Amino acid sequence: MKILIAGFKGDDNSAKILLDYIKKVCNEDILYLENDFEISSKQIEEKLLENYDNVLIFGQKPNTTNIYFENNAILEGKKLVTDYYYGALKENLEQYAYQVMNSYDAGKYLCNNVFFRALNFKQENNLKSKIAFIHIPTIDNIEDMNRLSSSIKDYIETLCEEKK
């Protein structure tokens, strides 16, 4: 199982901090995305060429303590929908007492842009990768980063076991 975990850079960005906590679970690749529309799009597209089975992209969502699974991205009137199955990840996070919500609005900024670009690149290049975008709370709204990272690590381990 080939896995890519991505999140945006920034010392106080909860996605970057989560990636720092995750490190390596089972040989997955970790990508720190630049906070720039063009650069982050190129970064994710270049990595997608490596044919990952699963791609988990994390971004931060302000003013919430919930975790949001993004189901689509919209750019310039075009809507792209992910085929990622969030069920097992949802169960895992709920076991760690997180509130998990489905979302159909990835925002209007970098998160939506990189998710759209990833889904579009997958479609245009007929890639098999399953691409997820997960919004986590900002760092000041995460009670325990160790608990959150443990839940994500446990999920990654289950993905790694799938193809053994």
Backbone angles phi, psi at 94, to 5 degrees: -65, -30
pLDDT at 128: 95
pLDDT at 27: 78
Give, for all 164 residues of the chain, the pLDDT tens digit.
Answer: 899 999 999 999 999 999 999 877 777 899 999 999 999 999 999 999 999 999 999 999 999 999 999 999 999 999 999 999 999 999 999 999 999 999 988 888 999 999 999 999 999 999 999 999 999 999 999 999 999 999 999 999 998 887 65
Q: Are 52 and 4 in contact (CB under 8 A)?
A: yes
Q: Are 110 and 37 in contact (CB under 8 A)?
A: yes
Supply the range of the domain harboring residue 126: 3-162
Distance CA 63, CA 66 (A): 9
**Total number of domains constituting the chain:** 1
Indicate the residue type of 38. E
Instruction: Give the domain CATH number at 124.
Output: 3.40.630.20
| 3 state DSSP class of 136 | strand
pLDDT at 50: 96
